[in-house]
Amino acid sequence: MSSSDPAARRVPGVGGEFAPLTGPRISGTIRGASVFPDFDGRRSLDGARPAAEEPPDPRVEAREAGYAAGFAAGKAASAAELAGAAAGFATAVEEVAQFRSRLVARYEQELLELALGVARKVVQRELAEHPERWLTMIREAVLGALDRETIRIRVGSVLHRYLVDELPRLRAMLEDVKELDLVEDVALDETGCVVESRYGELDLGVDGQMGAIRAALTGGDT
């Protein structure tokens, strides 16, 4: 091959001859053809074939199912335990409320008995120091009766002795009473006093008065 052939050139220091790669000329630059067309950046990736999906592993599925079942069981157990704790708390609150009610009722009863005991002593001392108050109490009871024509007064032994001595004075205080009967009743307390009329009776004794006070304070429960 002649050296003047433009299709071949000799490279200094390198033996042999070679023909340069030729390709389309773009803007005065020769662009070589791609040696590895599979890696050509101009190749579209739209036509790439997707990799085939692998079938699920039964062991993985079984493990996940076990986890799910265990979680559900634990959740149910926690809910049951919480419900049991709530029920136990409600029961405890109810028991405390009942205990408090019993305690209040007990101390209320004890306070009532204490108050009635004090009142009984005060009334007994007052009547012992001022027995003339019996006359006033009997007069008020008779005036409150619907029928005052016939009155019977049942009293204890101690009070009977006092009223026998004061009977004239008592009759003068009961002008509307046509028939007055004073009777000693051994079944009554020493200072017991019951005023009877045709339509009923009224207990004026200390025990009777305390019973009336108790009934008023407890709504009739004795």
Interval 111-134: pLDDT, tens: 888 888 888 888 889 999 999 999
Work out the average pLDDT over 139-162. Answer: 91
Task: Considering only residues 111 and 38, tell me which one the structure prediction assigns the higher pLDDT.
Answer: 111
Report which of 152, 176, 155 is spatially closest to residue 164, judged by C-alpha positions: 155
Candidate from 102-111, 126-135, 163-172, 196-205 with smallest mean pLDDT: 102-111
In sequence order, which residues have a C-beta less than 8 Å from that of residue 169 and are 6 or more positions away?
135
Q: Does the pLDDT of residue 18 top 50, yes or no?
A: no
pLDDT bracket for residue 222 (50, 70, 90):
low
Q: Please, are residues 213 and 205 in contact by the beta-carbon 8 Å criterion?
A: no
| Domain endpoint, select from 129, 158, 177 | 129
pLDDT bracket for residue 51 (50, 70, 90):
low
Q: What share of the chain in percent tops pLDDT 90?
A: 27
The kind and range of the H/E element at 26 are strand 25-26
pLDDT bracket for residue 35 (50, 70, 90):
low
Q: Are residues 212 and 174 in the same domain?
A: yes
Q: How many CA atoms lie within 13 A of 79 on its CB side?
A: 6
Cα–Cα distance, 91 to 57 (Å, whole number)? 51
Work out the average pLDDT over 18-27. Answer: 49
Edge-to-edge strand ranges of the sheet holding 150-155: 179-184, 150-155, 193-197, 200-203
Cα–Cα distance, 127 to 134 (Å, whole number)? 7
Output the domain CATH number for residue 160.
Answer: 3.40.1260
pLDDT bracket for residue 195 (50, 70, 90):
very high
Q: Are residues 123 and 155 in the same domain?
A: no
Task: Considering only residues 108 and 187, tell me which one the structure prediction assigns the higher pLDDT.
Answer: 187
Number of domains in the chain: 2
Q: Are residues 150 and 181 in the same domain?
A: yes
Furthest C-alpha separation in the chain: 183
Find how far residue 206's CA is from the centre of its chain: 45
Q: Are residues 121 and 135 in the same domain?
A: no
| Domain endpoint, select from 80, 103, 129 | 129
| Domain endpoint, select from 129, 150, 176 | 129
Residue written as tokens 């009532």? 112
In terms of residue numbers, what domain contains 88? 63-129
Q: Are residues 79 and 92 in the same domain?
A: yes
Question: How does the average pLDDT of the chain come out, rounded?
Answer: 77
pLDDT for 135: 94
Q: Are residues 201 and 137 in the same domain?
A: yes
